């Protein structure tokens, strides 16, 4: 069991950013409206995620750290859940196997809090606690007992870069959740959770960037597209400023990137790239899970139609601003 957890950890917990991703996604799934992320030393000494979501019932807290124990039921209409099937119920035991983890959680029904401490996969404390509703996960000394893995870690700055990039995109995907990200005591991101995506863009890219955004909007019988693209006077050296959200989840899509850049570069034949946040809504049946779930790749079943819609939306947004 312990060995299985360490093996699984190798797949699920590649680096500090993967721990952050798993913990923060659990906080989002728990219905939180506030999620605070505290990082020390690029995540190698501390990753702490505190949320105000539904919490874990005291009697379930040990179960949550057992392999394949998940409270989330997959339905055929929730393809994103099915997409992460491979890792279902594996994150917490995997993380606990390679760190010193403390979980304090108070569930919304009983209001009772419980604290569980796991070191290298072994439970060292399980006791009543005092805490507000929600969950507080502290992961200390990541990979302390897997020195081979620790050796592969890049610089603190590199690890932090991955964490920060992921949290930024998650905040863009969830403008209704108030996120804070702190590293070694300084605040790197704070969003308000008002639901206004322009506010999140301002928090990440600055207020002048937010002012330079044009609304994008188009729909047909299958797809609904909303979001923002930067005006031609605000460009970037690479395509990292493109964030795509599908049915509320941040994903990577070659198809979406390609069609929006096709339209953009037809109008603006420059070797620069726009800042973009695109949200696509569709029936989950039109989504196909592609390749490796952790890469967040998806495939769309009516691809040609979607491409045409994106190209039209980008063209309309930019042409409306032509001077």
Residues 13-32 that bind Mg ion (CB under 5 A): 26
Report the residue number, 27 or 260, with the smaller CB distance to ligand ADP. Answer: 27
Shortest Cβ distance from residue 84 to Mg ion (Å)?
8
**What's the rounded Cα separation, in Å, for the pair 191 and 120?**
34
Report the residue number, 29 or 305, with the smaller CB distance to ligand ADP. Answer: 29
Shortest Cβ distance from residue 159 to Mg ion (Å)?
21
**What's the rounded Cα separation, in Å, for the pair 141 and 249?**
29
In the block, tokens 């108030």 appear at 178
Shortest Cβ distance from residue 260 to ligand ADP (Å)?
31
CB-based contact 114:104 (threshold 8 Å): yes
What residues make contact with ligand ADP under the rule CB under 6 A?
A: 22, 26-27, 30, 51, 53-56, 64, 70-72, 88-92, 135
CB-based contact 189:46 (threshold 8 Å): no
Q: How many angstroms from the chain centroid is the CA of residue 304?
A: 28
**What's the rounded Cα separation, in Å, for the pair 278 and 285?**
20
Residue 84 contacts Mg ion per CB under 5 A = no
Shortest Cβ distance from residue 55 to ligand ADP (Å)?
5
Provide the mask over 85-124, with x wherever binding to Mg ion is found by CB under 5 A and - wherever it is not: ------x---------------------------------
Report the residue number, 26 or 105, with the smaller CB distance to Mg ion. Answer: 26
CA triple 74-79-84, angle to 5 deg? 70
Q: How many angstroms from the chain centroid is the CA of residue 16?
A: 13
Tell me the residue length of the chain: 323
Buried/exposed 160-181: b ≥16 CB within 10 Å, e otherwise: bebbbebbbbbbbbbbebbbbb
Shortest Cβ distance from residue 70 to ligand ADP (Å)?
3
From the list ligand ADP, Mg ion, none, which binds 261 (C-beta under 5 to 8 Å, kind-based)?
Answer: none
Report the residue number, 52 or 253, with the smaller CB distance to ligand ADP. Answer: 52
Residues that bind Mg ion (CB under 5 A): 26, 91
């Amino acid at each position: 069991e312990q060995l299985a957890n360490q093996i699984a950890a190798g797949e699920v917990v590649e680096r500090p950013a993967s721990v952050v991703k798993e913990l923060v996604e659990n906080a989002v799934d728990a219905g939180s409206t506030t999620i605070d992320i505290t990082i020390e030393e690029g995540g190698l000494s501390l990753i702490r995620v505190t949320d105000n979501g539904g919490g874990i019932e005291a009697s379930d807290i040990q179960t949550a750290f057992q392999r394949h124990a998940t409270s989330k039921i997959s339905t055929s209409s929730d393809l994103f859940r099915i997409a992460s099937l491979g890792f279902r119920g594996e994150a917490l035991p995997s993380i606990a196997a390679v760190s010193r983890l403390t979980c304090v959680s108070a569930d919304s029904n009983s209001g009772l809090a419980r604290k569980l401490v796991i070191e290298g996969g072994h439970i060292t404390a399980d006791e009543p606690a005092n805490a507000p509703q929600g969950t507080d996960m502290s992961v200390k000394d990541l990979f302390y007992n897997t020195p081979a893995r620790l050796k592969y870690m890049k610089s603190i700055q590199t690890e932090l870069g991955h964490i920060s990039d992921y949290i930024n995109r998650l905040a863009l995907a969830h403008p209704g959740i108030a996120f804070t990200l702190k590293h070694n005591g300084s605040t790197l991101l704070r969003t308000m959770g008002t639901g206004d995506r322009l506010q999140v863009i301002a928090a990440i890219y600055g207020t002048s960037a937010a002012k330079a955004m044009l609304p994008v909007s188009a729909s047909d019988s299958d797809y609904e597209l909303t979001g923002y693209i930067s005006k031609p006077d605000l460009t970037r050296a690479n395509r990292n400023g493109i964030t795509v959200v599908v049915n509320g989840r941040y994903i990577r899509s070659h198809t979406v990137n390609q069609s929006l850049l096709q339209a953009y570069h037809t109008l603006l034949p420059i070797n620069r790239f726009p800042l973009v946040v695109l949200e696509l809504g569709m029936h989950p049946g039109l989504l196909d899970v592609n390749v490796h779930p952790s890469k967040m790749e998806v495939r769309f079943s009516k691809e040609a139609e979607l491409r045409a819609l994106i190209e039209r939306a980008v063209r309309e947004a930019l042409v409306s601003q032509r001077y």
